[in-house]
Amino acid sequence: MSSRDRRQDVTIKDVAQAAGVSYATVSRVINNYKHVTPDKRERVVNAMIRLGYVVNQQARSLAGGHSGVIGLLVPDVGNGYIGEVIRGIDAELAANQYDLMLYTTHRHPSKESMYVATLTRGMTDGLLLLLPLNPSAYLDALHQKQFPYVVIDHQGFDDFSPTIIARNFVGAYNAIRYLIDLGHRRIGFVAGTPELASAIERLNGYKQALRDCGLEFDPALVENGDFQQPTAYAAATRLFALADRPTAIFAASDISAFGVYDAAYMAGLRIPQDVSIIGFDDIPQAANTHPRLTTVRQPLYEMGRQATRMLLEEIECPSGVVRRIEFDTELIIRDSCQPLNGLPSSQTVGRGGASV
């Protein structure tokens, strides 16, 4: 089927011949075996360089070696949140000479299982699952197969999956406390996909903060969303149309917050004078909006790195120990909130301040 002439590629046999050794020896040199005489090793290395030998990963992994590639499943690409995590993964992978196979599930739970099946059939040495929608469908199998994997941002309901997660509950809790401290009482919440544990945790944090402050939970102030901008726009529009409209809105993601921004502008509400807004994630764009978005920071890049490190360690020396790392979230105060009927709360100067 493939039109190109693979015969022109140089293989270990060519190298062996050129170096005057058996091709098993070449394989040994490539794989850094200890017991090869320096003399032969050098001859082989020279031949490899001279001939421009490049290893064929497929053959290597078929024959039982490792493939040197890690599979990554993400719901989609091109959104800030995922981009940051991928950056972290990519950095760690590159540092360890691993390659990346990227799969987008396009938020189709059924695709997940399919991809997992393919990827674990020799193509990859391990799997990174970001925001899986339907992990129960295959996590058991992976675990049984002892196939290395790490789940990012999904507080699993099992106790055998290595996991990287941020403290979503605390992050949301603190955000709401901050809003309440500013005097807000009617706080709207544009929630995330209820299938995702992180969305639920954020909702719980919201509720708990209200409760701890003696505020009543009003279901009318909570709109379901999906972390995306258009949905958040629609949700916020409904919230702003309420007779007793919220004076502050907490969005389950920065992208949602941008949708809330849009809705506020369309409703003629000024931020933060007429409505305070807080996001979640702290993606790079959050600092480029106007006013700059106050948000709950997740260390996305670092989460990607750590997940990868965890996976690579498990691949290279399997311990069987199930680790779970929780990252702290941090409230990043910028310019999108202010005390109810008060002055801007931002302590910052510069861009945000000057532009008001």
Applying CB under 7 A, which residues contact DNA? 1, 6-7, 9, 11-13, 21-25, 27-28, 30-31, 33-37, 39-40, 53, 55-56, 59-60, 62-65, 122
The interface partner of residue 13, options being its own copies, DNA, none and the CB cut-off 5 to 8 Å by kind, is DNA
Decide: 337 and 248 in contact? Cβ < 8 Å. Answer: yes
Contact between 300 and 139 (Cβ < 8 Å): no
DSSP 146: T
291 binds, among its own copies, DNA, none (CB under 5 to 8 A by kind): its own copies
Q: Binding residues for its own copies, per CB under 8 A?
A: 1-6, 8-9, 52, 54-59, 61-62, 64-67, 69, 76-80, 83-84, 86-87, 90, 94, 99-104, 106, 117-118, 121-123, 125, 145-147, 258, 261-262, 265-266, 268, 270, 284-285, 288-291, 315, 318, 350-352, 354-355
Backbone phi and psi for residue 160, each to the nearest 5 degrees, phi listed first: -120, 5
Question: Which residue is it, tokens 């098993």?
Answer: 24
Instruction: For DNA, give the closer residue by CB, 4 or 244.
Output: 4
Residue 262 binding partner per list its own copies, DNA, none, with a CB distance cut-off of 5 to 8 Å that depends on partner kind:
its own copies
List of residues 6+ apart from 274 with CB closer than 8 A: 247, 264
In angstroms, what is the minimal distance from the CB of 121 to DNA?
Answer: 8
Nearer to DNA, 33 or 160 (CB): 33
Neighbouring residues of 161: CB distance < 8 A, sequence distance ≥ 6: 135, 139, 143, 149, 151, 322
Please report how close the Cβ of residue 121 comes to its own copies at its closest, in angstroms.
5
CB atoms near residue 7 (< 10 Å): 6
Least separation in angstroms between residue 215's CB and its own copies is: 30
What is the distance, to the nearest Å, from the Cα of residue 334 to the centroid of all Cα atoms in its chain? Answer: 23
End-to-end CA distance of the chain: 63
